[in-house]
Amino acid sequence: MTAARQEQLAAGLSAVNQRIEQACARVGRDPAEITLVVVTKTFPVDDVAQLAALGVTDVGENRDQEAKAKAAAAPPWLRWHFVGQLQTNKARSVGRYADVVHSVDRVELVQALDRGAVAAGRRLDVLLQIDLAESNGDSSPFDRPSGAGGEDQTRGVHRSRGGAPLADVPALAEQVGSTSALRLRGVMAVAPLGVDPAAAFARLRTVSDALRAQVPGADWISAGMTGDLEQAVAAGATHLRVGSAILGQRPALQ
Ligand SMILES: *Cc1c(COP(=O)(O)O)cnc(C)c1O
**pLDDT digit string, tens, across residues 53-69:** 999 999 999 999 999 99
Report pLDDT for 135. Answer: 57
Would you tell me how many other CB atoms lie within 10 Å of the CB of residue 13?
21
Which atom of ligand 1 is least distant from the CA of 225?
9
Q: How far is the CA of 177 from the centre of ligand 1 (A)?
A: 28
Q: Which of 241, 247, 250 to mutate to test the pocket of ligand 1 (most atoms within 8 A of CB)?
A: 241
- For residue 15, which amino acid is it? A
The rounded mean pLDDT for the chain is 91
Q: 218: burial class by Cβ within 10 Å (0-12, 13-18, 19+)?
A: buried
Give the residue, 161 or 141, on which the prediction is more confident: 161
Query: Could you report the per-residue pLDDT of 67-121, keeping only the tens digit for each?
Result: 999 999 999 999 999 999 999 999 999 999 999 999 999 999 999 999 999 999 9
Report pLDDT for 160. Answer: 59
pLDDT at position 40 over 90: yes
Does the beta carbon of 70 lie inside 6 Å of ligand 1?
no
Does the beta carbon of 103 lie inside 6 Å of ligand 1?
no
pLDDT at position 12 over 60: yes
In Å, how far from its chain's centre is CA 93? 18
pLDDT at position 138 over 60: no
Does the beta carbon of 41 lie inside 6 Å of ligand 1?
yes
Does the beta carbon of 90 lie inside 6 Å of ligand 1?
no
pLDDT category of residue 162 using cuts at 50, 70 and 90? confident
Report pLDDT for 251. Answer: 80
Report pLDDT for 150. Answer: 38
pLDDT at position 157 over 80: no
* The 3-state secondary structure of the chain, one letter per residue: CCHHHHHHHHHHHHHHHHHHHHHHHHHCCCHHHCEEEEECCCCCHHHHHHHHHCCCCEEEECCHHHHHHHHHHCCCCCEEEECCCCCHHHHHHHHHHCCEEEEECCHHHHHHHHHHHHHHCCCEEEEEEECCCCCCCCCCHHHCCCCCCCCCCCCCCCCCCCCECHHHHHHHHHHHHCCCCEEEEEEECCCCCCCCHHHHHHHHHHHHHHHHHHCCCCCEEECCCCCCHHHHHHCCCCEEEECHHHHCCCCCCC
Report pLDDT for 2. Answer: 83
d(CA 194, CA 223): 16
Give the whole-number percent of the chain exceeding pLDDT 70: 88
Report pLDDT for 147. Answer: 40
Which atom of ligand 1 is least distant from the CA of 83?
13
Q: How far is the CA of 248 from the centre of ligand 1 (A)?
A: 12
Half-sphere exposure (CA, 13 Å, Cβ side) for 26?
14
Report pLDDT for 1. Answer: 57
Report pLDDT for 246. Answer: 98
